[in-house]
Amino acid sequence: MECPQKQGYVNSSISCCVLINVTIRGCMKVTKVELIPIRPKNGLVAFACIELDNDFYVSSIGIHKKLNHRGFRITYPSRKAGEQSITLCHPIKNALSKEIEKAICSKAELMMEG
């Protein structure tokens, strides 16, 4: 079946995916973390930008104070499409997810202390 987006129209209920078999050397590593503090609103205190293996840049990662005010949690960028919220990017492997969270949250702790 041909991708409907190639036919000149977009149907929001259909998504097109291309599977590519790529060999990646081990788990990616966070090589850079930048934080952009904002005026706190509903627990959101900053945004993070990260680099993975000095090759891939991800921005607009939200940093939120946890409800118990002990530490932080992160949210990945998303956009609204009608009533639906679509996540733009997120790690698939748990090891990378934990590494990103640890790198961002530890830097947020330092930022809030100083």
Place of tokens 């969270």: 101
Q: For residue 98, what are its two tokens?
A: 């934990």
Q: The domain spanning residue 49 has which CATH number?
A: 3.30.1120.40
Kindly state whether residue 50 falls inside one of the protein's structural domains. yes
CA distances to 8, 88, 92, 104 from 48, rounded to whole Å, are 36, 15, 19, 7
List pLDDT tens digits, range 57-109: 999 999 999 988 889 999 999 999 999 999 999 999 999 999 999 999 999 99
Kindly state whether residue 44 falls inside one of the protein's structural domains. yes
Count of domains forming the chain? 1
Dist. CA 104–CA 63, nearest whole Å = 8
Kindly state whether residue 76 falls inside one of the protein's structural domains. yes
Kindly state whether residue 65 falls inside one of the protein's structural domains. yes
Kindly state whether residue 10 falls inside one of the protein's structural domains. no
| Structure confidence at residue 51 (pLDDT) | 97
Q: Give the chain's length.
A: 114
Dist. CA 107–CA 113, nearest whole Å = 10
List pLDDT tens digits, range 100-109: 999 999 999 9
Query: In which domain, by residue range, is 38 found?
Result: 25-113
| Structure confidence at residue 11 (pLDDT) | 44
Q: 10 Å Cβ neighbour count for 108?
A: 23
> Which pTM was predicted?
0.75
